[in-house]
Structure 1
């Protein structure tokens, strides 16, 4: 059995996913920008390894992954918070996010392609902003919409390896959201059909399903409680 590689697995949702699969007895490798921190987090988790590279510098990726052996699943879920409007367009910030989530993600798959099991899969994280733009989401909305195209083409090029995408809504119990004012969270909660915000455990369960279900391929799963706005 090969490893599960979680790109962006050293904090937040990525860390929760890593904890789940380590708990299942799987061989897990987490990555982050800082090699030392990635190794430290991996040791704390009891994971098989921790690797460091910056997705916005794609030339770092293949060398950092060179020593990995067989891989069953790749989860691409690194995140970059970005507020970038057309009116005050920050080219450096925009290029970093676009490179990170489209070029960087693709380079990870390219670097690991010859080690991916034919029964394995790739999971690419996008987000709600692809459907629900907001002021300052110009780059985020564009990139998350691009995740759909990336997933579709990878599913064709990598077949029979499965490729899916996951698009979370607001995950209310993450550090970023749990510290928001109650009225802000309530405003988001009341426009869901479930009457609750998405939780970390919901994301972890969805990741496990998309990685493990042998018929889940070219699926683009929105996980937001049936939001209406």
Structure 2
């Protein structure tokens, strides 16, 4: 498989850290011209300062006008990757309508509107990569809203693969990945959680952002792959 993205333009939506950053850097290193876009333009500009081949843009995927404006500024694209999410964790009594709505708006409706407004701008041979998550496959108490959001993202992926054909549409479903998302547990809590997860996970380790970036590159460059959710979770869903 040819993983080169030379002479391709790739839009990566998300923050300037974690998975989004790993995807942007890996895509750039594969030869693409990368546009990193998100709501906080200042933070993105700082995050990618001094990174050749990566420019930054502003977009709020919960706002159709913002998406349309981005499309008008960028013109034609080859690949779009949306890593944006807004997790609504907690047990049923703790969930609020606003939190669940924001989760769905960011990870499901947002990508749907990206496909509507930017899909026609994707060049022949291009693709669209969404993000799901292991919670859709491994149901657990405390991740109800995350699970239904990710499940909807999986369904959206398959539906868009038909609607946008021959533009390919795939999703990446990460397991536990070592990003700043777990820092809120504190150093000790994070270490204990990672240790426990590594013991139960068939891969016997925690995932890295590079693992996910590699999967995104595969999804973008595998020209016979569409409508698929790639589980990059170390087998977590099996436990």
**Same fold by TM (over 0.5)?**
yes
1:85 Cα offset (Å): 3.1
| C-alpha displacement of 1:184 | 1.4
Aligned match of 1:121? 127
1:194 to 196, 199, 203: 203
Which of 141, 144, 152 aligns to 1:135? It is: 141
Where structure 1 has 5 or more consecutive residues not aligned to the other structure, the ranges are none
Question: What SS does the aligned partner of 2:200 have?
Answer: coil
TM-score, scaled relative to structure 2: 0.88
2:98 to 86, 92, 98: 92
Equivalent residues of 2:176, 2:206 under 8 A apart: yes
2:192 counterpart residue number: 183
| Uncovered stretches (5+) of structure 2, i.e. residues with no partner | 1-6
Cα 1:183–1:84 change in 2 (3 A) is closer
Tell me the TM-score normalised to structure 1 length.
0.91
Q: Residues of 2 paired with 1:132 and 1:191: CA distance?
A: 14
Q: Which has the higher contact order (CA 8 A, sep 6+)?
A: 2
Q: Secondary structure at the match of 2:50?
A: helix
Q: For residue 203 of structure 1, what is the aligned residue in structure 2?
A: 212
Find the counterpart in structure 1 of residue 55 from structure 2.
Answer: 49
Q: CA RMSD in A?
A: 1.8
The answer as to whether partners of 1:84 and 1:137 remain within 8 angstroms in 2 is yes
Match of 2:78 among 63, 72, 83: 72
Cα deviation for residue 93 of structure 1 reads 1.3
How far does residue 9 in structure 1 lie from its aligned partner after superposition?
4.7
CA contact (8 A) 1:77 1:125 kept: yes
Preserved contact between residue 2 and residue 117 of structure 1 (Cα < 8 Å): no
Q: Which runs of 4+ in 1 moved over 4 A?
A: none
From 27, 31, 42, the equivalent of 1:25 is 31
- 1:216 pairs, out of 203, 206, 225, with 225
Asked if structure 2 preserves the Cα contact closer than 8 Å seen for 1:83 and 1:136, the reply is yes
Distance 1:42 1:185, change over 3 A: closer
